[in-house]
């Protein structure tokens, strides 16, 4: 009896163990998992649409940096001869003085941001574009493609085109900062296939050609402008035309066109012309905004000049970072240089150093291109809301309200006015709608003029190029005289480049323009001193103001003045090293096929 | 509370006196087996508290004895004995000697093992020893009490104290995978549930063979806590009351306003600026600082010591514990109730500022523990263990960081506390810089925690199947709840410029309002948090001796489930385990443990791992050729095992990629936000649990009856599957590259305990030294080839912060000659004699070593330097004395081979609010700018300046050995002095123990730091609540 009981109990114990082993495996099963997977996202039309919206967050953003006033809060033109930012720790100071390495380089984030954008675009295209080779099921799509009236007709095709544009723009950014870049095409990199990630780079001209071709694929699929207010800010057909124009212009430029193949300039001219022709065929074309200063703080959608912008909208970080130091809460981080100020012509169309210009170094801001007053705060500029008793003259004299202090101020005598909304009340600091302009109409005109001139043998062959520049110069409120006709290729180049510098100042053009023109070739701090200051790239000039009896005396604005500031290190440009940023050091080790840029 | 405790005690005493009303005295004698008298034996009647003590002839008399009463006899050196009186005339109790080795058991995983048959690396401390430390966080009592551990006190404020515990050092690069496993009564729990009183022992399990039974959880070592259980026969009541105080262990004093003004002027002088303070200002600040200022200038010149303003000298702390235990053969119980009140360091001037309520930081904690065991019948035993903790914390609503950082640490001595009109003063650039206001008038933050933990255990005795067979089932339920509510308040704060206006005329100053007063608002309830754990354990145990064989074995299944409110599935582990300990002939011991353990973090089919461990031991002292009365014990041990760690800090399901909604974009003229969706993380099916393979060799010995005893363990660990960044996946991948279980590290170390116990006449003393040493090395990091090979991390020690590469600039000297400073990089290259190039350097700036000789100081000149903030080497010394009722003990512990980060505002904080500590006198240029002045040559800190330059005080050049300091220190960790009344005296009132004592904790530190900086966390005075030292007076009474 006892033995039977023993056996029964032992058997029961074994049974219990067996049961627990089999049923308890289930103990580790997921109870629920509400997280999203790739499949869940692209099987759902709402999430798919949201995914596309998110890709837009990778658009270039010249204003986002203002959220880091310590290291980044200044215009990127502070990396050029246009401006400085006030302290030695500032990232742009390091870049403008070649004080960085491929492993200790503050702006290498551009590498990741753009590859992140490319990955997103390719993930999107993989599931939405029926022609994508990776599409697991091209026969089905969660986005409808029916013909409707309005913007949403053939919506799937439009979404595909938007994603392709964004992908092309991210490649363009890579070429701008890093030169040769991999063309990813439709590739979504797979971590389990590590060999596929050791990418090789295509030279810049090839990538730019690829970008232009991508634009060709989509430029007429996208609406040139959207009809619905709700689609304002989306990638449109005009942006594709504009990107193609810029890509081909960069491709034809000296940096990427070592053989100076003039057919490339021709292509660039045609691309710009295509934009202008297409634009003029619409009843409501893109036009120059009739007020140059307001064009940069006007509510973005009311500005018919903007082709594509990065949505930023309500903020006052731009104002508080730019306004002169003496306004409460202002940091005055971007300090334009005397070099830049000197580049503005007189209202008579002459450079300040030209005979008969009428330039007076002790009244240096009188009779200048009106865009100077619209772009720069100088000593004596009036600012502030009169109705709030905040209106006053900017005072950058030593010890003056807007002179430098422990945590800000100007080292050049100037502050940046562009983008600053004059409606700002310092005591309550409302926010204003801002958008970072990526493409605008004036740029296309200048692209066109530059390409036509460069494609010619001895200067523009007909009036087209002149008319394009004149159109920019004759904007309502700017009204600068037309360019003199019959300029040599060389002379026209100088004028159109200066026009670009002034018109597109602080819009992230100067950094790339100087490089694509190879403007630094043969330039040393010593040998450029014979040139006018506005043509000097490495020596940075400042102005200093002393006030006696209410009368300001300007030192440094004189034509031959060489006033510099010890606190502003000399700009350093090593050719060819500094034409491009280095590929991040770690990346070159992980993907050795990338190679490294010259001299890094 | 105290009154309550006392009345409970009195209640018990009166109960016992009621029971004493009948019976007659009993006389008897206690002897040993040889018939020699045993003196000092305590006799008590079971389940009552009448006691007697035997005299030097072994004779005793116990009052009011009645027939049938059982006597329990305890005496040091003898086994306890229960006895019924059969022969009242000639009643003799014979005691068996207690030769230690036969009775000492030690807690081991899921069982207990005779101490002499243990085979693994373990270190044990009893609850009684832990009680000696007046700490509120048990971890703080462990250094110096056990070997193989290191601690880091991370937070110190009452109720929020946190101390990280590391067993055998930092063994993994993954900072999220370093916590040891805490097991309280067989269940995974948090140590903060407990105080010392209910604890029987804490055992640190160190080698992987000991922890392999915990499967995926044991790799970082295990803290095995066993709580006290009742024993049949004795009803023990123990009452403990302590009053004590805490005080900050270090506060670096700020300069007074006179010295501050001089410092500012000197910094400005060095920067080429005009002085800020005139000679007259300075003279007046001097008078303000020394208290001799003309009262008419009192609004203009002040000298505020903000720490004096904020802190009080002593913060009371008291603790009451009542423990009861006892029972009969069928039912046994142990109950412990503790009340702790710990007050904060804030000055009562501010905390009592408001009528009717206090804003002091106060912790009130109740800890309850009740363990009940019942023998239902001879086949079944059940036990129910309940524990609970209630914490109530109230504190100023302004957070501790703001109070210490803005309110005091970065505040200036020239700032007054009040304006001339009597409102709180606030500087122009801050609405927080007034510690008094922040403490008194920002409101109150209340936090409450309710924790419950419970075990229900049933043990079935299956002796009827085969002797020694048992089955056991355990269910544990733990719950954790937090409640928070806040009552906000505000104060009137004004700025005025003291240096303007007419002195002595409050109306002549311009006041700028910075804050407006509000009264204490109604409570705002913050969402509460709750979670609970369910644990189960089922096992079959078999323990039996046959002839020369002794076997103790079990198989088990365990589950763990942690449920948190929210988005994810609960966290679960499932483990099947087996344990066997086999002893042959009392000499040879073999032990095996194994766990087949799974976690739900991983994909189906890849959830389980096997973790085996094996140990062998040889009790040489049992060999006939060595048997010797001088060698009480000599044992050799060896173990090899594997354990795992599934908490890797990665997302809930690391194998799968994850997309989330968010990060949208605005389209349209009215900027309608279009929600976004994106890939937030890529999955990686290769993310696994970490593995620890460890070899341990040990030696235990006890010679000449504890004249020399000790334990030595050496180990080597091979850690693998550590999460690291692979060098094969470039950022071009396009989304944050998931880490991969690919890293490896090795750690080796030694732990030594050496002790001596003896007496000289009536003085008994013991001395015990402990030493813990371990050193880690990264062996696989899949590291990208660094530009300079000396920057390679592989082969270096493991850092405390994940991802930090411990690369530092090394200061060579202070720039001392102007013409040695090159003007440009080219200049430096062309003229090597003008070494070194540093850009815009000034005299007294740090000249860093140019490690690669390229004549430019950049990222590549940083080299691996220093240790971590966790010590590698922890020696400690315990001394104890006893003499005629007096006892004393001292514990010294040193934390060596450690380095700590300090900051560039240690001395003069130009960029951090501007305050300076006395440390500023060690700064280059404080006295003069003569580079040949020895005070400058030997300066500890670089050139004084009004702003931080990027040369040596700002990122990245602040990553230098100037600000990364030797963190070694020796701490007088514990002191205890006590006096116990003779048992003979107190037994007359039925007491078995009455002791009064003084205890101190963390009383003094010796270190490289002075001026009040605490060497454990030198910057905590400014950015956190300071570490404290404490001392208390107490009494312990047992019945």
Per-residue pLDDT tens over the stretch B220-274:
999 999 999 998 877 889 999 999 999 998 888 888 999 999 998 998 888 887 8
The three state secondary structure string of B574-611 is EEEEEEEEEEECCCEEEEEEEEEEEECCCCCCCCEEEE
Residue A206, pLDDT > 60, answer yes
Q: Which residue of A has its CA nearest to B738?
A: A191
Taking only the tens place, the pLDDT of each residue in B739-757 is 899 999 999 999 999 999 9
Taking only the tens place, the pLDDT of each residue in A398-426 is 878 898 866 678 989 999 999 999 999 98
Residue B101, pLDDT > 60, answer no
Range in B355-359, B440-444, B492-496, B501-505 with the lowest mean pLDDT: B501-505
A134 half-sphere exposure, CB direction, 13 A CA radius:
14
For residue A183 the two structure tokens come to 């063309």
Give the strand pairing for B493-495 and B424-425: parallel
Taking only the tens place, the pLDDT of each residue in B683-717 is 998 899 999 999 999 999 999 888 999 999 999 99
Taking only the tens place, the pLDDT of each residue in A277-310 is 999 999 899 999 999 999 999 999 999 999 999 9
pLDDT confidence band for B61 (50 / 70 / 90): confident
B93: Cβ–Cβ under 8 A, 6 or more apart, which residues? B28, B29, B30, B31, B41, B43, B71, B73, B81, B83
A466 phi, psi to nearest 5 deg: -60, -45
pLDDT confidence band for B99 (50 / 70 / 90): low
B542 touches chain A (CB under 8 A): no
Give the gap in angstroms from C-alpha A420 to the nearest C-alpha of chain B.
21
- A51 to B671: CB separation less than 8 angstroms, yes or no: no
Q: Is A5 exposed, middle or buried (0-12, 13-18, 19+ CB in 10 A)?
A: exposed
B785 touches chain A (CB under 8 A): yes
Q: Report d(CA A233, CA A439) in Å as an integer.
A: 12
Q: Which residue of A has its CA nearest to B429?
A: A329
- B669 to A115: CB separation less than 8 angstroms, yes or no: no
- Residue A87's pLDDT is what? 67
Range in A405-409, A506-510, B97-101, B188-192 with the lowest mean pLDDT: B97-101
Residue A244, pLDDT > 90, answer yes
Give the gap in angstroms from C-alpha A55 to the nearest C-alpha of chain B.
8
pLDDT confidence band for B894 (50 / 70 / 90): very high
Residue A14, pLDDT > 70, answer no
Range in A410-414, B44-48, B739-743, B774-778 with the lowest mean pLDDT: B44-48
Give the gap in angstroms from C-alpha B905 to the nearest C-alpha of chain A.
17
For residue B274 the two structure tokens come to 């005009």
- Residue B120's pLDDT is what? 92
Span B964-970, average pLDDT: 93
- A591 to B669: CB separation less than 8 angstroms, yes or no: no
- B661 to A47: CB separation less than 8 angstroms, yes or no: yes
Q: Which of residues 910-969 of B touch A (CB under 8 A)?
A: 946-947, 949-950, 954-956
- Residue B20's pLDDT is what? 44
Q: Which of residues 641-700 of B touch A (CB under 8 A)?
A: 652-653, 656-661, 663-672, 674-679, 682, 684
Give the strand pairing for B181-184 and B222-227: parallel
- Residue A68's pLDDT is what? 77
Taking only the tens place, the pLDDT of each residue in B278-291 is 999 999 999 999 99
Residue B2, pLDDT > 70, answer no
Give the gap in angstroms from C-alpha A114 to the nearest C-alpha of chain B.
8
Span B629-653, average pLDDT: 91
Nearest to A336 by CA among A542, A507, A66, A512: A542
B823 touches chain A (CB under 8 A): no
**Partners of residue A8 in chain B, C-beta under 8 Å:** none
Span B762-790, average pLDDT: 93
Which of A31, A36, A198 lies closest to B658 in CB terms?
A36
The rounded percent of chain B whose pLDDT value lies above 90 is: 57
Nearest to B186 by CA among B123, B258, B117, B111: B111
B429 touches chain A (CB under 8 A): no
Residues A130/A160, Cβ–Cβ less than 8 Å? no
Q: Which residue of A has its CA nearest to B599?
A: A28
When mean pLDDT is compared over A100-114, A530-544, B63-77, the highest value belongs to A530-544
CA distances from B215 to B504, B553, B654 (A): 75, 18, 20
- B665 to A182: CB separation less than 8 angstroms, yes or no: no
Work out the mean pLDDT of chain B and round it to a whole number: 88
- Residue B17's pLDDT is what? 43
Instruction: Give exposure, B344-382, as e/b (b: 16+ Cβ within 10 Å).
Output: bbbbeebbebbeeebbbbbbbbebbbbbbbebeeeeebe
Taking only the tens place, the pLDDT of each residue in B195-232 is 899 999 999 999 999 999 999 999 999 999 999 999 88
For residue B451 the two structure tokens come to 């924790």
Best residue in A2, A14, A35, A58 for a mutation probing chain B (most B CBs within 10 Å): A35
Range in A442-451, B160-169, B746-755 with the lowest mean pLDDT: B160-169
Residue A545, pLDDT > 60, answer yes
**Partners of residue B734 in chain A, C-beta under 8 Å:** 115-116, 118-120, 188-189
Which H helix or E strand runs over B641?
A: strand B631-645
Give the gap in angstroms from C-alpha A152 to the nearest C-alpha of chain B.
14
Residues B668/A234, Cβ–Cβ less than 8 Å? no
Please confirm whether the linkage preceding B956 is cis (ω < 30° from 0).
yes
**Partners of residue A29 in chain B, C-beta under 8 Å:** 600, 604
Span B372-401, average pLDDT: 93
Which of B668, B676, B947 lies closest to A231 in CB terms?
B668
pLDDT confidence band for A17 (50 / 70 / 90): low
Taking only the tens place, the pLDDT of each residue in B425-456 is 998 778 899 999 999 999 999 999 999 999 99
- Residue B959's pLDDT is what? 87
For residue A270 the two structure tokens come to 């045609």
- A120 to B679: CB separation less than 8 angstroms, yes or no: yes
Q: Report d(CA B191, CA B210) in Å as an integer.
A: 20
- Residue B11's pLDDT is what? 47
Instruction: Give exposure, A276-299, as e/b (b: 16+ Cβ within 10 Å).
Output: bebbeeeeeebebbebbbebbbbe
Residues B779/B809, Cβ–Cβ less than 8 Å? no
Span A477-487, average pLDDT: 95
Q: Which residue of B has its CA nearest to A187?
A: B733
Q: What residues are paired with B996 via a beta bridge?
A: B979, B1035
**Sign of CA pseudo-dihedral B901, B903, B906, B907:** positive
Give the gap in angstroms from C-alpha A299 to the nearest C-alpha of chain B.
9
Taking only the tens place, the pLDDT of each residue in A165-191 is 999 999 999 999 999 999 999 999 998
Give the gap in angstroms from C-alpha B666 to the nearest C-alpha of chain A.
6
Residue B320, pLDDT > 60, answer yes
In terms of residues, how long is chain A? 600
Nearest to B714 by CA among B727, B695, B733, B731: B695
- B678 to A51: CB separation less than 8 angstroms, yes or no: yes
Q: What angle do CA A417, A422, A424 make, to 5 degrees?
A: 115
Span B638-649, average pLDDT: 93
- Residue B390's pLDDT is what? 95
Taking only the tens place, the pLDDT of each residue in A76-93 is 999 999 999 876 667 888
Span A514-519, average pLDDT: 97
Q: What residues are paired with B752 via a beta bridge?
A: B712, B771
Tokens 């733990």 locate to B478
Give the gap in angstroms from C-alpha A47 to the nearest C-alpha of chain B.
6
- A88 to B949: CB separation less than 8 angstroms, yes or no: yes
Taking only the tens place, the pLDDT of each residue in A261-277 is 999 999 999 999 999 99
Residue A375, pLDDT > 90, answer yes
Range in A62-66, A519-523, B959-963 with the lowest mean pLDDT: A62-66
Taking only the tens place, the pLDDT of each residue in A350-366 is 999 999 999 999 999 99
Which of A41, A231, A589 lies closest to B659 in CB terms?
A41
3-state secondary structure of A246: helix
- A54 to B664: CB separation less than 8 angstroms, yes or no: yes
Tokens 């990955």 locate to A119
Give the gap in angstroms from C-alpha A222 to the nearest C-alpha of chain B.
16
- Residue A597's pLDDT is what? 95
pLDDT confidence band for B19 (50 / 70 / 90): very low
Which of A27, A50, A188 lies closest to B664 in CB terms?
A50
Q: Is A101 exposed, middle or buried (0-12, 13-18, 19+ CB in 10 A)?
A: middle
Work out the mean pLDDT of chain A and round it to a whole number: 91
Span B28-51, average pLDDT: 77
Span B4-30, average pLDDT: 56
pLDDT confidence band for B10 (50 / 70 / 90): very low
Which H helix or E strand runs over B306?
A: helix B306-310
Taking only the tens place, the pLDDT of each residue in A546-597 is 998 889 999 999 888 888 887 787 899 999 999 999 999 999 999 999 999 9
Interface size, chain A vs chain B, as Cβ–Cβ contacts under 8 Å:
197
Residues A514/A568, Cβ–Cβ less than 8 Å? no
B731 touches chain A (CB under 8 A): yes
Q: Which of residues 435-474 of B touch A (CB under 8 A)?
A: 462, 464-466, 471
- C-alpha dihedral (A175, A177, A182, A183), degrees to nearest 10: -40
- B604 to A232: CB separation less than 8 angstroms, yes or no: no
Q: Which residue of B has its CA nearest to A190?
A: B733
**Partners of residue B462 in chain A, C-beta under 8 Å:** 9
B215 touches chain A (CB under 8 A): no
Q: Tell which wins on pLDDT, B291 or A11.
A: B291
Residues B739/B687, Cβ–Cβ less than 8 Å? yes
Which of A9, A233, A590 lies closest to B727 in CB terms?
A590
pLDDT confidence band for B830 (50 / 70 / 90): confident
Span B523-547, average pLDDT: 91
Which of A103, A199, A311 lies closest to B665 in CB terms?
A311
**Partners of residue A232 in chain B, C-beta under 8 Å:** 667-669
Give the gap in angstroms from C-alpha A148 to the nearest C-alpha of chain B.
20
- B675 to A10: CB separation less than 8 angstroms, yes or no: no
- B954 to A89: CB separation less than 8 angstroms, yes or no: yes
Taking only the tens place, the pLDDT of each residue in A118-149 is 999 999 999 999 999 999 999 888 999 999 98
Residues B406/B432, Cβ–Cβ less than 8 Å? yes
**Partners of residue A104 in chain B, C-beta under 8 Å:** 858-859, 956
- Residue B632's pLDDT is what? 87
B929: Cβ–Cβ under 8 A, 6 or more apart, which residues? B269, B270, B843, B844, B936
Q: Which residue of A has its CA nearest to B823?
A: A569
């Amino acid at each position: 009896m006892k033995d039977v009981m023993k056996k029964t109990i032992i058997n029961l114990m074994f049974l219990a163990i067996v049961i627990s082993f089999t049923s308890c495996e289930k103990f580790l099963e997921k109870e629920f998992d509400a997280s999203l997977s790739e499949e869940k996202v692209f099987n759902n039309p709402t999430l798919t649409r949201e995914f596309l919206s998110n890709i837009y967050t990778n658009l270039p953003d010249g204003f986002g940096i203002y959220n880091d006033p310590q290291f980044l809060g200044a215009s990127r033109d502070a990396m050029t001869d246009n401006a400085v930012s006030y302290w030695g720790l500032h990232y742009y100071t390091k870049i403008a003085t070649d004080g960085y390495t491929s492993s200790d380089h503050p702006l290498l984030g551009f590498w990741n941001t753009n590859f992140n954008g490319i990955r997103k675009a390719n993930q999107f295209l993989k599931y939405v574009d029926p022609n994508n080779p990776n599409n697991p099921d091209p026969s089905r799509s969660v986005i409808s493609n029916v013909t409707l009236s309005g913007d949403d007709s053939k919506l799937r095709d439009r979404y595909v085109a938007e994603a392709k544009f964004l992908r092309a723009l991210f490649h363009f950014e890579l070429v701008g900062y890093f030169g040769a870049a991999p063309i990813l095409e439709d590739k979504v990199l797979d971590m389990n296939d590590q060999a596929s990630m050791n990418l090789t780079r295509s030279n810049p001209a090839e990538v730019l050609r690829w970008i232009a071709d991508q634009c060709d694929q989509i430029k007429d699929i996208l609406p040139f402008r959207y009809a619905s207010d709700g689609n304002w800010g989306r990638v449109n057909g005009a942006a594709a035309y504009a990107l193609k124009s810029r890509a081909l212009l960069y491709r034809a430029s000296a940096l990427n066109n070592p053989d100076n193949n003039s057919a490339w300039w021709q292509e660039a001219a045609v691309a710009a012309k295509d934009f202008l022709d297409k634009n003029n065929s619409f009843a409501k074309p893109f036009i120059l905004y009739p007020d140059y200063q307001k064009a940069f703080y006007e509510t973005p959608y009311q500005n018919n000049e903007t082709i594509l912008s990065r949505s930023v909208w309500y903020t006052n970080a731009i104002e508080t970072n730019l306004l002169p130091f003496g306004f409460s809460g202002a940091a005055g981080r971007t300090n334009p240089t005397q070099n830049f100020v000197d580049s503005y012509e007189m209202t008579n169309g002459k450079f300040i150093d030209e005979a008969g210009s009428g330039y007076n170094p002790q009244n240096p801001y009188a009779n200048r291109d009106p865009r100077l007053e619209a772009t720069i705060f100088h000593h004596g500029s009036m600012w502030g809301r009169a109705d709030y008793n905040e209106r006053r003259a900017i005072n950058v004299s030593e010890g003056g309200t807007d002179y430098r202090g422990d945590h800000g101020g100007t080292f050049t005598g100037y502050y940046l006015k562009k983008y600053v909304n004059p409606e700002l009340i310092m005591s309550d600091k409302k926010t204003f709608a801002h958008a970072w302009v990526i493409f605008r109409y004036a740029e296309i005109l200048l692209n066109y003029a530059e390409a036509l001139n460069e494609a010619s043998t001895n200067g523009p062959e007909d009036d087209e190029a002149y008319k394009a520049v004149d159109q920019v110069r004759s904007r309502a409120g700017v009204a600068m005289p037309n360019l003199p006709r019959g300029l040599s290729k060389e002379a026209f180049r100088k004028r159109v480049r200066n026009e670009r510098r002034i018109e597109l100042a602080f819009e992230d053009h100067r950094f790339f323009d100087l490089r694509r023109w190879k403007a630094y070739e043969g330039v040393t701090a010593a040998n450029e001193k014979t040139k006018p200051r506005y043509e000097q790239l490495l020596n940075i000039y400042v102005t200093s103001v002393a006030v006696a009896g209410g009368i300001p005396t300007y030192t440094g604005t004189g034509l031959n003045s060489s006033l510099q500031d010890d606190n502003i290190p000399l700009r350093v440009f090593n050719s060819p090293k500094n034409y491009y940023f280095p590929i991040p050091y770690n990346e070159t080790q992980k993907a050795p096929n990338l190679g490294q840029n010259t001299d890094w | 509370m105290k009154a309550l405790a006392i009345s409970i005690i009195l209640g018990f005493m009166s109960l016992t006196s009621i029971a004493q009303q009948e019976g007659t005295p009993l006389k008897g004698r206690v002897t040993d087996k040889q018939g020699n008298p045993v003196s000092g034996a305590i006799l008590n009647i079971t389940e009552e508290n009448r006691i007697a003590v035997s005299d030097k002839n072994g004779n005793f008399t116990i009052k009011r004895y009645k027939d049938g009463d059982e006597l329990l006899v305890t005496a040091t050196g003898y086994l306890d004995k229960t006895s019924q009186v059969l022969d009242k005339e000639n009643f003799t109790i014979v005691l068996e000697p207690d030769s230690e080795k036969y009775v000492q058991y030690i807690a081991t995983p899921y069982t207990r093992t005779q101490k002499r048959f243990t085979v693994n690396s373990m270190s044990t401390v009893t609850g009684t020893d832990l009680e000696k430390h007046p700490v509120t966080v048990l971890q703080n009592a462990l250094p110096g009490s056990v070997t193989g551990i290191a601690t880091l006190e991370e937070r110190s404020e009452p109720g929020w104290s946190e101390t990280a515990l590391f067993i055998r050092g930092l063994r993994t690069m993954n900072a999220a995978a370093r916590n040891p496993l805490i097991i309280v009564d067989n269940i995974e729990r948090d140590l903060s549930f407990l105080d010392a009183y209910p604890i029987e022992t804490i055992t640190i399990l160190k080698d992987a063979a000991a922890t392999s039974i915990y499967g995926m959880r044991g790799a970082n070592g295990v803290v095995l806590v066993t709580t006290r259980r009742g024993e049949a026969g004795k009803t023990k009541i123990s009452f403990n009351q302590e009053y004590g105080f805490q005080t900050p262990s270090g506060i670096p004093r700020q300069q007074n306003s006179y010295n501050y003004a001089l410092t500012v002027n000197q910094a400005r002088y060095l920067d080429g600026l005009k002085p800020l303070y005139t000679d007259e200002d300075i003279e007046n600040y001097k008078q303000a600082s020394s208290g001799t200022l003309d009262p008419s200038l009192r609004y203009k010149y002040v000298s505020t010591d903000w720490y004096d303003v904020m802190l009080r000298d002593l913060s009371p702390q008291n603790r009451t514990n009542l423990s009861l235990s006892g029972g009969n053969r069928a039912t046994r119980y142990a109950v412990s109730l503790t009340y702790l009140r710990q007050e904060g360091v804030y000055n009562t001037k501010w905390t009592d500022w408001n009528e009717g309520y206090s804003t002091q930081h106060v912790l009130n904690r109740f800890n309850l523990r009740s363990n009940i065991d019942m023998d239902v019948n001879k086949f079944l035993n059940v036990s129910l263990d309940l524990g609970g903790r209630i914490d109530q914390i109230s504190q100023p609503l302004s957070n501790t960081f703001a109070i210490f950082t803005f309110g005091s640490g970065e505040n200036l001595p020239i700032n007054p506390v009040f304006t001339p009109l009597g409102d709180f003063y606030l500087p122009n650039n801050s609405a927080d810089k007034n510690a008094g206001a922040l403490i008194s008038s920002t409101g109150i933050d209340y936090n409450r925690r309710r924790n419950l933990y419970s075990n229900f255990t049933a043990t079935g005795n299956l002796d009827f199947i085969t002797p020694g067979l048992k089955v056991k089932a355990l269910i544990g339920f733990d719950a954790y709840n937090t409640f928070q509510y806040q009552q906000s308040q505000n104060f009137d704060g004004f700025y005025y410029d003291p240096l303007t206006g007419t002195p002595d005329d409050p109306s002549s100053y311009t006041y700028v309002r910075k804050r407006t007063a509000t009264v204490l608002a109604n409570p705002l309830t913050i969402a509460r948090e709750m979670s609970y754990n369910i644990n189960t354990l089922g096992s079959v145990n078999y323990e039996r001796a046959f002839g020369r064989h002794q076997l103790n074995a079990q198989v088990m299944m365990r589950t763990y489930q942690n449920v948190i409110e929210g988005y994810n599935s609960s966290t679960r582990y499932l483990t099947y385990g087996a344990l066997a300990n086999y002893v042959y002939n009392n000499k040879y011991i073999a032990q095996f443990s194994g766990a087949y353990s799974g976690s739900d973090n991983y994909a189906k089919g890849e959830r389980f791992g096997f973790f085996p461990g094996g140990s062998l031991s040889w009790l040489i002292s049992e060999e006939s050729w060595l048997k010797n009365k001088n060698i009480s014990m000599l044992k050799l041990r060896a173990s090899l095992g594997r354990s795992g760690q599934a908490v890797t800090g990665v997302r809930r399901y690391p194998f799968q990629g994850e997309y989330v909604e968010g990060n949208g974009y605005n389209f349209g003229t009215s900027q309608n936000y279009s929600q976004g969706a994106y890939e937030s993380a890529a999955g990686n099916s290769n993310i696994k649990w970490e593995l620890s393979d460890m070899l341990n060799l040990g030696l235990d010995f006890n010679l000449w009856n504890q004249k020399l005893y000790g334990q030595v363990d050496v180990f080597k660990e091979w850690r693998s599957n550590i999460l690291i960044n692979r060098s094969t996946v470039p950022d071009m991948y396009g989304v944050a590259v998931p880490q991969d279980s690919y890293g490896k590290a090795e750690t080796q170390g030694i732990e030594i305990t050496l002790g001596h116990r003896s007496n000289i006449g009536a003085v008994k003393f013991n001395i015990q030294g402990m030493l813990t040493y371990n050193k880690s090395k990264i062996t696989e990091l899949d590291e990208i080839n660094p530009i300079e090979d000396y920057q390679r991390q592989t082969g270096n020690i493991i850092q405390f912060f994940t991802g930090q590469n411990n690369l530092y600039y090394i200061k060579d000297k202070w720039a001392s000659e102007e013409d040695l400073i090159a003007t440009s990089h080219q200049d430096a290259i062309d003229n090597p004699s003008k070494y070194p190039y540093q850009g815009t350097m000034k005299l007294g700036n740090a000249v860093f070593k140019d490690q690669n000789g390229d004549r430019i100081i950049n990222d590549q000149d940083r080299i691996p330097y220093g240790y971590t903030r966790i010590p590698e080497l922890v020696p400690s010394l315990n001394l104890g004395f006893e003499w005629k009722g007096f006892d004393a003990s001292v514990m010294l512990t040193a934390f060596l081979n450690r380095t700590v980060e300090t900051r560039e505002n240690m001395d003069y904080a130009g960029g951090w609010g501007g305050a300076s500590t006395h440390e500023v006198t060690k700064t280059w240029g404080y006295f003069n700018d003569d580079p040949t002045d020895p005070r400058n040559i030997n300066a500890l800190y670089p050139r004084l300046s009004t702003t931080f330059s990027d040369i040596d005080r700002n990122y990245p050049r602040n990553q230098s050995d100037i600000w990364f300091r030797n963190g070694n220190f020796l701490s007088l960790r514990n002191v205890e002095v006590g006096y116990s009344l003779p048992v003979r005296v107190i037994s007359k009132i039925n007491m078995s123990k009455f002791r009064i004592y003084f205890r101190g904790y963390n009383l003094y530190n010796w270190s490289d730091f002075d001026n009040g900086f605490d060497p454990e966390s030198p910057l905590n005075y400014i950015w956190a609540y300071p570490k404290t030292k404490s001392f208390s007076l107490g009494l312990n009474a047992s019945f």
